[in-house]
Each structure stands twice: as C-alpha cells, then as structure tokens.
Structure 1
C-alpha cells in the first residue's frame, strides 16, 4: 500500500512538472512568434551593420533563423499548438475535466500568451538571440510537417521580400528622428532638413528651382562694354552673365565676369568680341538630380531652361508632341518664396528630353561660341526659354535654405 502511494505521489509530481514545462514551452513559442516575426530583415541587417556592439551580436545570431520566415512561423505555431493540446491531457489526471479546462485556459492565457508576448515585445532581440540554437533544433524536428506548409504559403502568398521604406515614409522616419520631434532622436534640424531635401530632389524639376527669364539679368551680344554696362555688371555681382541675341528669351551663351577684368571701359569693346561660352539648354521637366549630376561634370554651372512646345509638322499638318513628361501637381519650390532670384550657368541638349534617362552627350560641352563668319542662333520654333538655373539654385533646393553671398540683400517682409 505504501509503495502504491509513493508511486502515485511521484506520478503526481511528474505530471505537475510536465504541466509546468508545457505552459512555459507554449509561452516561449508564443513569445517568439511575436518577437521574431516582428523583426524585419531590414531592421536586423541595419542592426548587424551599424548597431551597438551588443545589438550587432544579437542580430547576427537571429538573421540565419528568420531568413525563411514562413518556415520559422510554421515551426513556432506547430510547437505552440502541440503544447497547448497536450496540456489538458496531463491535467485530466490531476483534476476533473471541467477543472482541467479552466486551469489550462487560465495558465495558457496568463503564462502562455500575455506575459511571454509582453516580455518578447520589449526584449525580443535579446531573447531571440539567446534561444536561436534551440529554435534551429525545433526547425529540424518539425521540418517534415513545417516545410510543406511553408512552401504552400510561399506559393499562395509569395516568398518573403525585403520591405523597404518608400521615399515619403523614409522622409517621415527621418523627421521623427529629429531632436525637435521630442522622441529622443539625435538628428539636428539642419540634418533632417538636408536629408529631406535630398529625398525631394528627385521629385523636383528644373522649373521648380529656376529663375524666370523676366527676373534674369542678361546683356545683349551687340552691346558695348562701356563704363555704364561694366558698372551694372559689377553692381549685380554675378560670376556669369547670360548673353542674348535680339530678344532676352534667345539666350545664346554666357560671359565669365572674370574674363572682363582686363577690359578697359574706355575702349567700349562689343560684347561679341569677348569670349562667349556656350550655355546648355535643359527641359523644364528634367529632375534636379540629373541637373546636379551634369553640373558635377564641370561642363557648366549654368543652363537655360526651355519649355518645349507642340510643333506642327508642315508636311502632315499633324501636331507632334515634342515632350510630354509633365507632372501633375508641382511641389512647393523654395524659389517661389524668394524675394530675389539668383542664377548662374549649363550644356545645351536642344533635344526633346526623356525625363530621367536623357543625359548630356560629350558634344554638348560648354565650349567657346564661334561667332565670326557665322549667323547667330535664334530661338527654335519648338523651344521657348523660360528661365535660368544654376548650381546654386540646385544646392539651395537640396539644403532647403537660402545661400547668401556678399552681394545679396536681405529683405525683411515682417
């Protein structure tokens, strides 16, 4: 009788230990399901490359485990379901049927769901790295069942893909990391502004940053460099001055002001007698990123922005659309808020433009304009010069702030 009692007592404690193990195991699987599956591959790769030393170590351990997310998800759910289904079986040997159901629901809800998921939500990276070897063992144990299900999920839902931020989402994320957002971010106002400006640069075109032709200071090629004109050029303070022929919208080149240092106003030398450099033409729909890339090549730092119109073919009488890459609503340009305008110089493509794919060719360099013995160029019928854009204009759009030089004047509109 005593032996039978001891046997029952030992069996009772064994069942208690099994119940505790099943509850803890189910809780671990539930917590890992939330903790590991909530860690995206992008987040882990970022932490593995640029996180703190501890986070790098954790991320490197977790990355091989979460690479096949559907297989990991199936493994964790199978183990969790097996533990929860086995729990009432062992509880039935300890208490009545209704008691086993009540106790199992309470234990699973409290210790198998709420507490583990709360802990893994906060410390998922550390816990996931600690149990990564154990999870790998579970993946191999459940592989015969989990693998077919994961392949079915891959077929129905598609394989896991890296979810990168969209441009607008990335801009919002940067703003939230600014120290002005009050969320503990380390980025300063200037840093967030520059990053946001760089992200917006693709969406902005030449028409958003240019200085309109009506506000541009330019000189006639037939004018004489007398004292009045030289004083006017000096007063404007520009490093480059556009040169036009017959009308201000027919910009044919530019003059570097530094080339006028050796000219005496008393000689009244004609503008066409000095070195005039070619000025490039760009479509008004050309993105600022493309313009900045071409500025960097050193061909020119100033360009004429042209509005390419619809041209009627004289042979067929059909309207031919030269360029139709026009965005619907234009972004708010920094240039529209300015009380003054800046300009500077660019290579002439004179083409119909193909938005981002069109690049300047080698023969579009801003070289010297040959005038002697040749007719001066006129405005093409299918092009209309609408403004001037410079390197400084693009940089200002990037910085989202004005760049004031020694000759600029501040206007107080308050």
Structure 2
C-alpha cells in the first residue's frame, strides 16, 4: 500500500532497529510520560466531579432550590403552590418557614437555622427523610415543639432522642435595644445525618410551631419552597413564578445561600485542572528532547535524503510525523487507562481499605466517607485534545532544525 515518504520514514523512526535502540527507548519514555500525565488528569478530575456531585446531592437535597416569599405571612400557601406547579420546570411546592436563632444546652450555645416544615410533604423536596438515623420526621407534631437536629449538632451537645434543648430567637420589641430574645423549649424527636456541613447548622420543626414562635396564626407560613428539574434554572424559574403572583411576592434561590460554595468548587476544579495540564505539558515537551536527539542521530540519513531529492518540507514532515505518533499513542494509552481507572477508583480504594484494615476516608472525619468518581466525556475529550495539541506543537522546533541541516556539512562530520 502506498504511503507518503514522510509518513513511511517517520513511523519507522519510532521503532527500534539495531543502533537506534537508545533513540527508540527515549521515544518510549516520552510516550509513557505523556500517558501517565493524561491518566492522572482524567482520574483526578473524575474524583473532583464525584465529590462535587456528592456535595450537590447532599446540600441541594436539603436546602430549598427556590422559595416564593410573601411580603407578609402567607395565610394560605396552597394557591401559591398551585400557581408554581403550573410552571413545567417546578416538580413540587410545599410550605416553608425559616428563622435564625441560637441553641442552648447546659451552658453551651451554637447558631442554628430552623426550618418550619410540613413533615407529611417534606419528602417531595428534601432528602432528609432518607437520612434520619434516630427518631422519625413524623414525630414532629403541631403544638409539641419537637425538633429534628443534625448529627454534628447532636454530637456537639451529646443529645439523643428525648432530650430537651432551648432555642433562642430574636424578637422585635419596644425595649430600648429594639430586640429582645425569645426562648422556646424544644424536644429532640429525631437526628439526621446527610454527611455535609448542614448536619451542624440546620434544625427542623413543624411549621405550626414555627408560626407560634413567630406569633403568627397556626396555618401561616413565611414562604413556599419549590423543587425544580434543572438546579441552574432555579433563579429564572422562581422569578417567573413570583412575577406571575404579583407584587406581594419575591423569589429567592439556592445561588444566594450556597452559590459561593459551588463557585469555589468550580474554581478549585479549574485550577487543579490547569496544574495537572502542566504535567501533561512537561511530558509532551519531552518529545522536543527526543526529536532533537533523533535529528542529531539521523544527520547523515537526512543529508542522503536531501541529496536524492527530498525537500526541506518533507524532512520537516518526517519528524513531525514521528513526534505526533508518539503523542497520539501516548495520549490514547493514557486516555484508555484513565477511563478504566476513573470507573473503578471507588472499588480500588474499597479493596485497599479491606486489605489494609484502615479506613482512608473515615466517616468520623470526612463528610464523604468513600472516594466518589464521576467520569465526564467532556473532560476526557478536553484532556486528550490538549495532549494531541501539545504533542504536535512540541514537534515544530526539532522538525524545523532537521529541515535546516545542510547535506554537505552533515556528510562531512558524520
């Protein structure tokens, strides 16, 4: 089968033939280095994607995707929920009241964000029902002032189901300071553990009890909580719903409360990706050293090719082909191994833990007690594409030097 001269000779130079074994060896090391760089980049970014997915599922499964807040307490939340559900992006709408306060227990205190909910409907918009480790969400009865706390809060105060704790909330008054504390005794009826910071900052009470603490009517709520199909469309969806309800309502969404966290995770992934790309770049530019050694080794061959009619363009193409072959093969090997490793890294870590008897990610220390991984095709394509481009760029200078070799000079000193 006919092959152009540059492709035929360039591919031959990548294989070991007698005196070329050293050159072939350094070509192989360049290929292996590039493969390892691509493999590491795919695995690390997949693990970061996995952690981001876990944190998104846990945090955004607990906090509201969006809320429709009334200018004053909402007397009947059902018409608001029905109006919200007319939007095709909204999957659920339930009553919701939120207040900030302090928990006090035996002289110790901590800030807390209390959510007033309807236990019968909370499962439509929250994952908390699947993460109750003690007690039950159904034990939140109106008028009994029960509370479901997070695992971190419970461990900090050494609480169990049946204990009593004091909630302190600010209350506007005519006193000189303008605000006086209101104390409410709460009964611990449940403990949840979602494996995120919310385990230490959130508490759940019945919406009727929240209304009583705020001096509202028992059926009044602060807002209607929405669950949406696309989390990143929550700002637009909530604004549309609020606009349809009129001037007495405003919208809020998760980007205002948790947006900084996810922006930080996105920035972290970007910066680590750039740092890992430097590893790939170093491996790719090892091809420069490889090709320069090949050019020096093949000076006489280049001179002979020039004397029998090869043009500088063809000589340049020979070494560009050789470097590109090294880059493509190394990137493909690294890509395949990286995909396999990313798909099995969780099982590999689990096997290491079983064999060693040590927990690498202890649930007592880390929110996520395993090593999650989420392989994204876009990341693999971007990494492999970067490897191809860097490998090609690394061939330009050595190939140009080869094209500038003068036949008479090369043959004289060969």
- What TM-score, normalized to structure 2? 0.23
Normalised by the size of structure 1, how large is the TM-score? 0.23
Q: Which structure has the larger Rg over C-alpha atoms?
A: 1
Bigger RCO (CA 8 Å, 6+ sep): 2
